[in-house]
Amino acid sequence: MAKAHQSELITRKPYNTLIEEIERLLEAARAGEIVGMAGTYVHKDKAVSYSYAGAVASYGMLGGLDCVKERLLRIALAKE
């Protein structure tokens, strides 16, 4: 990952809602309720990465990703 200039860094405190969601997902995974996941992450230097793990090879997973993509697009367009 390329280094970002200091002015390009996101200098915010941790988002409590993000932490709560990650903890909720971890609890569900430990309980066997969630068996696969795919995610995209925005880092403090504005770089974006992704990962996936578990049972992800399904059309249902692809449909879920399409739904979140549409939702994020609506959020982005509303900010313009």
Q: How many whole angstroms separate alpha carbon 38 and alpha carbon 55?
A: 10
- Reported as a single tens digit per residue, the pLDDT across 11-61 is 778 899 999 999 999 999 999 999 999 999 999 999 999 999 999 999 999
The verdict on residue 1 lying in a domain is no
- Domain extent, residue 47, equals 6-78
Question: Collapsing DSSP states into helix, strand and coil, what is residue 45?
Answer: coil
The verdict on residue 27 lying in a domain is yes
pLDDT at 7 over 60: no
pTM of the predicted model, to two decimals? 0.77
Number of folded domains in the chain?
A: 1
Q: How many whole angstroms separate alpha carbon 18 and alpha carbon 66?
A: 21
Higher pLDDT, 63 or 6: 63
pLDDT of residue 71: 97
pLDDT of residue 8: 63
Q: How many whole angstroms separate alpha carbon 8 and alpha carbon 67?
A: 30
pLDDT at 3 over 90: no
Contacts of 55 (CB under 8 A, 6+ apart): 35, 36
